[in-house]
Structure 1
Amino acid sequence: MRDYAKELPEHGEKFIGENDLFLEIFHRYHGSQQPGRPPLLFVHGAFTGSWMWSKYIPHFMAAGWDSYCINLRGHYKSRSVDFTQLTFEDYLEDIREAIAEVVDDSGGPPVVIGFSMGGILSQKLAESVEIAGLVLIDSSICRQVHDEVPYQGLAPQAPGLVVPAPARGEQFSADETCEDIAFQRKYLSMESGKAFGAFSFHFGAKGVSVDGARIACPSLVISAVGNDDDDRRGRAAARHIGGEYLGLPGTTHTGLLVGQRYREAVSRIMDWLARLQDCSLPGATRPNGLNGA
Structure 2
Amino acid sequence: MFGRLTLDSIPYEDPIIMTTFTVVAIGGLGLIGSILYFGKLKYLWHEWLTSVDHKKIGIMYVIVAMIMLFRGFSDALLMRSQQAVAVASESGAGYLPPEHYDQIFTAHGVIMIFFVAMPLIVGLMNIVVPLQIGARDVAFPFLNSLSFWLFVSGALLMNISLFVGEFAATGWLAYPPLSGIEYSPWVGVDYWLWALQISGIGTLLTGINFVVTILRMRAPGMTLMKMPVFTWTSFCANVLIVVAFPILTVSITLLTLDRYMGTHFFTGDMGGNQMMYVNLIWAWGHPEVYILI
More helix by share: 2
**Would you call these one fold, judging by a TM-score over 0.5?**
no
Relative contact order, higher structure (CA 8 A, sep 6+): 2
More strand by share: 1
The normalised TM-score by structure 2 is 0.26
Structure with the greater alpha carbon radius of gyration: 2
The normalised TM-score by structure 1 is 0.26
